[in-house]
Structure 1
């Protein structure tokens, strides 16, 4: 499996590269966002390890670019920034996991494998097109239409709505949504789910009412 490490600290680069090689991965190192984008354009990449504090640009900006051009590639953020707002923003911009430095390389390897298992399970889903009420979703194309109108979404917004649309009228707690959409047990605040639902509702107007709040519990798709 080809892993692209976008990290400017040479000692961390070497540690990650050697650790991943021992585990059977094929790591490539880039010290800047520009170099990382060159690698993405030239070589097949299965997963990205991304530092947020890079010399040429913020990793947050790269996450936005990846959502537009490489949204099929999962991203694990590696950073010294441990503020909750930074974590929430990273997930909202499409990160699949988040590790705060310093971390154990064994934990990183476990998280990489967990992310790839989820990606493989996703690819084996038999139902790739859903139509529920006014909502039509194509998982292969990652497109959403509401009453025939194409709506642009982030990767996580799409995944959240896909989860609810596959299970219409089923109530999901915020914790369950975090676990299913972000893919691991998330110990932070659940407000990121509320923020994402609010953004989806704004995009889906005048059909935003189908994303129903179940007070004191979570959300469901009402059709």
Structure 2
């Protein structure tokens, strides 16, 4: 997930960059509106962290422009401006969230995950309630998992994780992604829970082969 930081304070730049990298994001730091727009024209970004007080132009003006030219990219405003009128204006101009300085990086990470989760929500559409892939059959309506024809008893979290992997059989999920999508951001930082759940599932699936593969340095995926 590529995140563009538009912030002129060097200490905050460093804090944001290091904090996001630790969480597995790919941050790019810029200090002016001009630099930020140049980055947006050169690369695709998933989210923007925007300071309102920039040296070459108001962050409000940039936010207004972003909603016209890059409306698909969520924007979280980071600012020392704590007045309610500024917050209202920020939301009116299209900010997806608003965080006042000083802030805890833990809260920022949680807000980023929450915004991205909202962006993934789409209008209701017909969905597949069962998936058959290789030796795996999983049915969301009945909450059943079968491997090679054998019914596997699972907990709700084990089932949710298998459903996610079966829907994305070629995708490698990092621990942070699995934690976010299966547990939710309130479990921020507890990636050990992912490893424990994977190990329990592997024990249950072991008689039928290595269904859950570890991609070293990246995460886990379904082994079809």
Task: Measure the CA separation in 2 of the matches of 1:74 and 1:19.
Answer: 19
Unmatched 5+ residue regions in structure 1? Answer: 128-223
Show the counterpart of 1:126: 125
Matched, 1:67 2:67: yes
| TM-score between both structures, scaled by the size of structure 2 | 0.55
Alignment of 1:169-188 (within 5 A): none
Q: Cα distance, 1:76 vs. partner?
A: 0.2
Show the counterpart of 1:114: 114
Number of matched pairs: 126
Deviations 1:50-107 (A, max 9, x none): 0000000000000111011000000000000000000000000000000000000000
Show the counterpart of 1:8: 8
Task: Measure the CA separation in 1 of the matches of 2:38 and 2:97.
Answer: 23
Deviations 1:120-167 (A, max 9, x none): 113x6439xxxxxxxxxxxxxxxxxxxxxxxxxxxxxxxxxxxxxxxx
Task: Measure the CA separation in 2 of the matches of 1:35 and 1:126.
Answer: 40
Show the counterpart of 1:38: 38
* 3-state SS of 1:126 partner: coil
- The structure 1 segments of at least 4 consecutive aligned residues displaced by more than 2 Å after TM superposition are 124-127
Unmatched 5+ residue regions in structure 2? Answer: 127-224
Matched, 1:98 2:124: no
Deviations 1:28-60 (A, max 9, x none): 001000100000000010000000000000000
Deviations 1:171-195 (A, max 9, x none): xxxxxxxxxxxxxxxxxxxxxxxxx
Task: Measure the CA separation in 1 of the matches of 2:101 and 2:29.
Answer: 18
Task: Measure the CA separation in 1 of the matches of 2:120 and 2:125.
Answer: 12
- Relative to structure 1, is the Cα distance of residues 46 and 82 closer, same or farther in structure 2, using a 3 angstrom cutoff? same
Task: Measure the CA separation in 2 of the matches of 1:19 and 1:97.
Answer: 18
Show the counterpart of 2:176: none
* 3-state SS of 1:99 partner: strand
Q: Which has the larger radius of gyration?
A: 2
Show the counterpart of 1:22: 22
